[in-house]
């Protein structure tokens, strides 16, 4: 468990947490979300506007590459995907996934998306699925500015994150899911609940994508908010 004075949003802390969870994260995430994350991921990526026949873009906080198939389905097999994640172990899992895909159009980079060397106006698209929750508000502001910097004029983006729903019944189920189910899954898969409980804390503190939406607008992007399944997930999508 994190110490009282630990900054849980520090990139090193986040990287270490996902390194430890990498062996079980994919299966645990699928089980705890009852498969909804896969559905919402596809719906999120379907919000991407089609800009050109062979676009190049970035999958930020890319994890194990879960979004790649849906990105290619939406934009075509010829699209070039540059996956960026801060966790060494998640990137190792992603590399194994890439070997199975045998795709030559996907590149994996180990980097902190808030401090990167991605060239200005180099992306036709930027996506991220379920990676926003580990950013506090100040970091979301930085991320929004980076999205604006990296996108080409006319480039598009789409992000999604697990969110706190407004209906009372769903909100109660959501908190039960965060406080009970996620730590239980962590205990079953890892033998301890600390990291998965921390994941629940990130989700609870994040709330919805509304604040990130405001950051994107302030950065100069055209942004829209979309609710998924009564607000159990929210997304933002738009263009530069």
CATH code of 221's domain: 3.40.50.150
Domain span at 216: 11-239
pLDDT at 32: 60
* Domain annotation covers residue 65: yes
pLDDT at 174: 78
pLDDT at 2: 52
Q: Torsions phi, psi of 84, nearest 5?
A: -125, 125
pLDDT at 47: 93
Average pLDDT, the chain: 90
What is the percentage of the chain residues whose pLDDT exceeds 90?
65
The count of domains in the chain is: 1
pLDDT of residue 133 exceeding 60 = yes
Mean pLDDT of 93-102: 90
- Residue pLDDT, tens place only, 19-29: 988 887 766 66
* Domain annotation covers residue 78: yes
- Residue pLDDT, tens place only, 142-200: 999 999 999 999 999 999 998 988 878 878 887 787 778 777 877 776 665 788 788 88
* Domain annotation covers residue 67: yes
Whether the pTM exceeds 0.85: the reply is: yes
Q: Does residue 2 or residue 127 have the better pLDDT? A: 127
* Domain annotation covers residue 6: no
pLDDT of residue 1 exceeding 60 = no
* Domain annotation covers residue 4: no
C-beta separation of 210 from 234 below 8 A: yes
pLDDT at 234: 96
- Residue pLDDT, tens place only, 39-57: 999 999 999 987 778 899 9
Give me the sign of the Cα torsion angle 139, 142, 143, 144.
positive
Mean pLDDT of 49-76: 92
* Domain annotation covers residue 18: yes
C-beta separation of 131 from 58 below 8 A: no
Distance of CA 113 to CAs 9, 86, 96, 101, Å?
13, 8, 22, 25
* Domain annotation covers residue 202: yes
- Residue pLDDT, tens place only, 184-200: 877 776 665 788 788 88
pLDDT at 215: 99
* Domain annotation covers residue 1: no
């Amino acid at each position: 468990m994190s110490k009282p004075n630990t900054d849980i949003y520090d990139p090193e802390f986040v990287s270490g947490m996902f390194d430890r969870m990498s062996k079980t994260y994919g299966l645990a995430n699928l089980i705890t979300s009852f498969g909804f994350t896969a559905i919402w991921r596809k719906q999120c990526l379907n919000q991407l506007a089609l800009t050109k026949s062979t676009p190049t873009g970035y999958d930020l906080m890319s994890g194990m590459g879960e979004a790649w198939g849906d990105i290619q389905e939406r934009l075509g097999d010829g699209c070039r995907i540059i996956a960026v994640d801060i966790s060494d172990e998640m990137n190792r899992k992603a590399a194994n996934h890439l070997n199975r895909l045998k795709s030559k159009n996907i590149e994996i980079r180990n980097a902190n998306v808030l401090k990167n060397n991605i060239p200005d106006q180099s992306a036709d698209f930027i996506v991220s699925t379920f990676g926003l929750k580990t950013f506090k508000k100040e970091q979301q502001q930085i991320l929004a500015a980076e999205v604006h910097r990296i996108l080409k004029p006319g480039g598009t983006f789409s992000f999604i994150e697990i969110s706190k729903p407004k209906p009372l019944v769903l909100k109660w189920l959501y908190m039960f899911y965060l406080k009970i189910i996620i730590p239980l899954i962590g205990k079953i898969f890892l033998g301890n609940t600390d990291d998965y409980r921390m994941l629940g804390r990130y989700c609870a503190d994040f709330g919805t994508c509304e604040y990130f939406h405001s950051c994107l607008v302030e950065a100069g992007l055209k942004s829209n908010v979309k609710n998924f399944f009564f607000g159990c997930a929210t997304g933002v999508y738009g263009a530069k």
